[in-house]
A = this chain, B = another copy of it.
Amino acid sequence: MHTLYVELEERSYPIYIGRDLFAGSDLLSRHIHGRQVAIVSNETVAPLYVQRIRDALGEVDLVSEIVLPDGEQFKTMQTLQLLFDRLLQEGHNRGTTLVAAGGGVVGDIAGFAAASYQRGVNFVQVPTTLLAQVDSSVGGKTGVNHPLGKNMIGAFHQPRCVLIDTDTLHTLPGRELAAGLAEVIKYGLIGDEPFYRWLHEHMAKLLARDQAALAEAIERSCANKAAVVASDEREGGIRAILNLGHTFGHAIETAQGYGEWLHGEAVAAGMCLALRLSAERGWVPEVEVTALRQLLQSMALPTAPPPELAAGKFLELMARDKKVVDGQLRLVLLRGIGEAVIVSDVSSAELMQLLQN
């Protein structure tokens, strides 16, 4: 097992990465401080993992199992409300701990519920998809979608710990594995060129679920993310580089209706657009655009937005992004591979040209 730390002073916490982290271990129970626990999962994860988590809780008085419907389209205020209903009906108090077992949707909703229930309770992340393990479970961003925009309602609420059991990836559908690897590639592109080159070399192994390769990719991704989060917890500045491809990606997800494209798929297409823009500015060679496209194609990931999404609509959706401040769209581009920059000088004309070609 490997342990990383997210360094945030009194809100610092460990990320445990390894196989079979629950049986006969106090890794989970040492982070349960009260005598009540609510395990929040979804219909897919519940039968596979909840019993293992239950067995590892230690001595508690109350355990609730809350099973949410599975899918991004349920990451809503309505689902959140159901969660609050259950917590209150079953008598959870301010000392309770919410354990989120599932993908990013479960973690984001349960995390926001933990941030808001009785003005804040403890929270533990047990991410079971690759995407959640390398991205959403680390860093404290929580929230739900609004029909007018993704992740528009939420809070920064750090977990007490993140438990990444790499065995969960055996049962993960191939499409989700590939979508998670899109976010892994992102860490290479924005800040870790050696890792990016390593990913090109090891992609076949990763897609074949080689345990050692996956563990290495997860650890390196989490280390990259932890470093960025530690330097800018609430995204006042540098943390925004984690959004490479995301402004494009969110627009795609909103246009399609949440749940059509996986988040990682939308990000893959978005990263291609960001890299193309960077290449047009002469910051990265054209050959890198081709290399990324080929890599993503080898993973069966999209490399362009859906053809039915018109450029005008695309721009309108991007203008509603959280990264827009006082009318100015900010985008993450690359000055080179492994060197992200935030720019606010991309014109609508430049974007229209990009999206129409």
Residues B152 and A84 in contact, CB atoms below 8 Å apart: yes
Chain B nearest CB, measured from A79 CB (Å): 12
**Residue on B with the closest CB to A149?**
B88
Q: Which residues of B contact A156 (CB under 8 A)?
A: 119-120
**Residue on B with the closest CB to A326?**
B35
Chain B nearest CB, measured from A31 CB (Å): 17
Residues B155 and A119 in contact, CB atoms below 8 Å apart: yes
Q: CB within 8 Å of B: which of A93-127?
A: 93-95, 112, 115-120
Chain B nearest CB, measured from A315 CB (Å): 14
Point out the residue from B93, B117, B152, B154 that lies within 8 Å of A326, measured CB to CB. Answer: B93
Residues B141 and A95 in contact, CB atoms below 8 Å apart: no
Q: Which residues of B contact A194 (CB under 8 A)?
A: none
Determine chain A's interface SS by DSSP, over half rule: mixed
Contact with B along A84-95 (1 / 0, CB 8 A): 110011010111
- Does A61 sit within 8 A of B, measured CB to CB? yes
Residues B155 and A89 in contact, CB atoms below 8 Å apart: no
Residues A88 and B120 in contact, CB atoms below 8 Å apart: no
- Does A300 sit within 8 A of B, measured CB to CB? no
Report the bound CA distance from A81 to B77 in whole Å. Answer: 8
Contact with B along A118-152 (1 / 0, CB 8 A): 11100000000000000000000101001011011
- Does A69 sit within 8 A of B, measured CB to CB? no
Q: Which residues of B contact A89 (CB under 8 A)?
A: 148
Please tell me which stretch of A196-204, A276-284, A317-325 contacts chain B, meaning at least 4 of its Cβ atoms lie within 8 angstroms of it. Answer: A317-325
Q: Which residues of B contact A146 (CB under 8 A)?
A: 84-85, 88
Contact with B along A311-335 (1 / 0, CB 8 A): 0000000001011111100000000
Residues B34 and A325 in contact, CB atoms below 8 Å apart: yes
Q: CB within 8 Å of B: which of A46-105?
A: 61, 77, 81, 84-85, 88-89, 91, 93-95
Point out the residue from B117, B141, B149, B323 that lies within 8 Å of A152, measured CB to CB. Answer: B117
Residues B153 and A116 in contact, CB atoms below 8 Å apart: yes
Q: Which residues of B contact A154 (CB under 8 A)?
A: 116, 118-119
Please give 12 more A-B residue pairs, beta carbons under 8 A apart, in addition to A84-B152, A95-B326, A116-B155. Answer: A77-B81, A85-B148, A88-B148, A88-B320, A89-B148, A93-B325, A94-B324, A116-B116, A119-B143, A119-B154, A119-B156, A120-B156
Q: Which 7 A-B pairs have the closest CB atoms?
A: A88-B148, A95-B325, A119-B154, A35-B326, A118-B322, A116-B153, A93-B324
Query: Interface residues, chain A, CB within 8 Å of chain B?
Result: 34-36, 61, 77, 81, 84-85, 88-89, 91, 93-95, 112, 115-120, 141, 143, 146, 148-149, 151-156, 234, 320, 322-327
